[in-house]
Amino acid sequence: MSNEHEKQLAAEAAAMLVEPGMTVGLGTGSTVAFLLPALARRRLAVRCVASSVQTERAATELGLHVEPFDRLERLDLVIDGADQIAPDGWLVKGGGAAHTREKIIAAAADRFVVIADSRKAVPALHGPVPVELVAFGLPATLHRLRPTVLRPVPNSPDGGVIADYQGPVDDPATLAAWLDATPGLVAHGLFPPSWLTETFVARGDAVERRTFTLERRADQLGAARRVR
Ligand code: 5RP
């Protein structure tokens, strides 16, 4: 069974989660490209936010209502693809260089759903991990982040330089903390399990749905406790 078929099945299953009146964040990539027509066919009154110019253009052409992410504080549902999904729910994203905006919409989501073909389910995360960097002081940031190589793609719509960290990913939490603490790094492509509510991974003709809701809820409760 082809990967494209699996992407389509996963995307179409996730499109059924959308309900009238929802605010919906749309990810980026070839799997999301199957989500957009599936969602448009349902003709629901929903407000969408896109994580990339490509997604915004494609969604708008299909008749979806896409608005800038400058009025909404939360999103009911975000559906996005991933490059790697580890068994514990850690993700690597950013193969399409959109991970900074994808991270912003995922962090704003009440429900963050990842759709993927079976190749994306991996026993353990590995490099490369996409990063977006500030152009100022780029050689110094790259030196600090070595081994990281620039990716020959245009800058992000926010002006960030896209590169890939090529080192080991033995412990995603430790690596994510180190990347987060690096001056000049805008965002990296490691997404923690606590952000994830569900995965839809297609294998052949079947879609495996896995929920991470309890972990996410526990994290949110923890965050709520910390601010009190
Ligand atoms: C873009 C992403 C994509 O979600 C990820 O690269 C998966 O893409 P695809 O669905 O084309 O395999 O993170 O920045």
- Distance (angstroms) between ligand 1 centre and the Cα of 51 equals 11
| CA 37 to ligand 1 centroid distance, Å | 17
If asked whether residues 135 and 84 sit together in one domain, one would say no
User: According to the model, what pLDDT value does residue 227 have?
Assistant: 40
For residues 51 and 141, state if they share a domain. Answer: no
Residue 8, amino acid: Q
The angle formed by the CA atoms of residues 8, 162 and 106, to the nearest 5 degrees, is 50
Q: Annotated catalytic residue: which of 102, 132, 198, 208?
A: 102
| Residue 14 exposure: Cα atoms within 13 Å on the Cβ side | 39
Q: State yes or no: is 102 an active-site residue.
A: yes
* Shared domain check, 171 and 204: no
What would the two tokens of residue 156 be? 């992000």
- Tell me the residue range of the domain where 182 lies: 129-188
55 lines ligand 1 (CB under 6 A): no
**Is the same domain home to 160 and 94?**
no
Any idea what the CATH number is for the domain that residue 67 is in? Answer: 3.40.50.1360
Residue 92: closest CA among 169, 167, 2, 181: 169
- Domain identity same for 9 and 111: yes
On whether both 13 and 81 belong to a single domain, the answer is: yes
Distance 166 CA to ligand 1 centre (A): 18
Q: Positive or negative, the Cα torsion across 28, 34, 40, 45?
A: negative
Domain identity same for 71 and 83 = yes
Tell me: do 202 and 170 sit in the same domain.
no
| 23 and 59 part of one domain | yes
* 102 Cβ closer than 6 Å to some ligand 1 atom: yes
- Along the 228 residues of the chain, how does pLDDT read in single tens digits? 689 999 999 999 999 999 999 999 999 999 999 999 999 999 999 999 999 999 999 999 999 999 999 999 999 999 999 999 999 999 999 999 999 999 999 999 999 999 999 999 999 999 999 999 999 999 999 999 999 999 999 999 999 999 999 999 999 999 999 999 999 999 999 999 999 999 999 999 999 999 996 556 555 555 544 443
Entry pTM:
0.94
Q: How far apart are the first and last CA of the chain?
A: 51
Q: Is residue 66 domain-shared with residue 148, that is, in the same domain?
A: no
Q: Could you tell me the CATH number of the domain that includes residue 138?
A: 3.30.70.260
Question: Is 25:48 a contact under the CB 8 Å cutoff?
Answer: yes
The DSSP element (H or E) to which 39 belongs, if any, is helix 32-41
Substitution candidate for ligand 1 out of 3, 5, 26, 30 with most atoms within 8 A of CB: 30
Mark whether 168 and 144 lie in a shared domain.
Answer: yes
In the chain, the number of structural domains is 2
Q: Cβ(85) to ligand 1 under 6 A?
A: no
Q: Which of 4, 9, 28, 34 to mutate to test the pocket of ligand 1 (most atoms within 8 A of CB)?
A: 28
C-alpha separations of 145 from 23, 166, 167, 221 in Å: 36, 9, 9, 33
156 and 49 in a common domain: no
